[in-house]
């Protein structure tokens, strides 16, 4: 029993395999992943202002870290280059131009994701149904842009995004992501894999994967 608990404490990944897919959930830094595309979640407006105001990208977030590494990235030029069309209805935050959650902009070895919707003061908020809809679009977009490489994503929604209705913890969000990917027909073709990068956290454990499915 002692060795089993030591194994649970020391292991750093869980592999979930099916007939046509492989998901690797692991503790790691998405920016250190090699030979794969890396998904970076922005808000629906692809905001690039980093700061502490509600509408700003937080410096410690994955998106904030990306913008620190690539401060001169021209998001609008990237949007124009792939012809991504904005939604007809603007964001709840000041009516700003926004894009469908789940849509992707390719940039170097990154896939920049329009993710969380903004409320009227600029906070990120999503309902469970909106989150699931976003995932379905994301899998389709990844299929268009992964170029036979593996793809790494964070646990989407586990940062400062506020989930409308019943709050969802990191463990629940991970299970929803895994279940959604399993159900989507056109997965990343093996031997390429889907990596889900996460941090060691008191409210999250690899051995609890699947408890909420």
Q: What is the pLDDT of residue 4?
A: 47
pLDDT at residue 193 greater than cutoff 90: yes
Can you tell me the mean pLDDT for 161-175?
81
pLDDT at residue 11 greater than cutoff 70: yes
Q: What is the pLDDT of residue 202?
A: 66
Q: How much of the chain exceeds pLDDT 90, in percent?
A: 74
Q: What is the pLDDT of residue 210?
A: 87
Q: What is the pLDDT of residue 66?
A: 97
Q: How much of the chain exceeds pLDDT 70, in percent?
A: 93
CB 78 within 8 A of CB 105: yes
pLDDT at residue 9 greater than cutoff 60: no
What confidence tens digit (pLDDT) does each residue in 90-113 have?
Answer: 999 999 999 999 999 999 999 999
User: How many C-beta neighbours within 10 Å does residue 191 have?
Assistant: 8
What confidence tens digit (pLDDT) does each residue in 54-96 have?
Answer: 888 999 999 999 999 999 999 999 999 999 999 999 999 999 9
Using CA atoms, how far residue 134 sits from 25, 31, 56, in Å, is 20, 23, 21
- Name which residue leads in pLDDT, 165 or 2: 165
For every residue of the chain, which 3-state class applies, written as one string?
Answer: CHHHHHHHHHCCEEEEEECCEEEEEEECCHHHCCCEEEEEEEECCCCCCECCCCCCECCCCHHHHHHHHCCCCCHHHHHHHHCCCCCCCCCCCCCCCCCCCCCEEEECCEEEEEEEEECCCCCEEECHHHHHHHHHHHHHHHHHHCCCCEEEEECCCCCCCEECCCCCCHHHHHHHHHHHHHHCCCCCCCCCCEEEEECCECCECHHHCCCCC
Q: What is the pLDDT of residue 199?
A: 86
CB 146 within 8 A of CB 190: no
What confidence tens digit (pLDDT) does each residue in 73-84 have?
Answer: 999 999 999 999
What confidence tens digit (pLDDT) does each residue in 14-34 have?
Answer: 999 999 999 999 999 999 999
Q: Residue holding tokens 């977030």? A: 61
What confidence tens digit (pLDDT) does each residue in 107-147 have?
Answer: 999 999 999 999 999 888 888 899 999 999 999 999 999 99
**Cis peptide, bond prior to residue 191, ω within 30 of zero:** yes
């Amino acid at each position: 029993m002692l060795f089993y608990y030591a194994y649970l404490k020391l292991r750093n990944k869980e592999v979930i395999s099916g007939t046509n897919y492989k998901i690797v959930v692991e503790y790691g830094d998405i920016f250190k992943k090699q030979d794969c595309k890396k998904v970076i979640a922005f808000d629906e407006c692809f905001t690039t202002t980093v700061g502490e105001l509600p509408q700003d990208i937080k410096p410690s977030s994955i998106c904030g870290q990306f913008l620190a590494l690539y401060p001169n990235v021209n998001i609008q030029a990237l949007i124009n280059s792939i012809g991504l069309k904005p939604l007809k209805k603007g964001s709840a935050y000041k009516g700003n131009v926004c894009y469908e959650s789940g849509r992707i902009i390719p940039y170097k070895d990154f896939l920049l994701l329009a993710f969380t919707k903004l409320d009227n003061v600029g906070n990120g908020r999503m309902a469970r149904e909106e989150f699931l809809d976003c995932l379905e679009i994301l899998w389709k977009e990844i299929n268009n842009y992964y170029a036979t490489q593996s793809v790494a994503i964070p646990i989407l929604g586990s940062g400062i995004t506020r989930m409308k209705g019943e709050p969802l913890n990191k463990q629940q969000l991970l299970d929803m992501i895994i279940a959604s990917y399993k159900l989507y027909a056109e997965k990343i073709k093996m031997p390429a894999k889907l990596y889900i990068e996460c941090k060691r956290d008191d409210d999250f454990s690899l051995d609890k994967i699947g408890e909420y499915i």
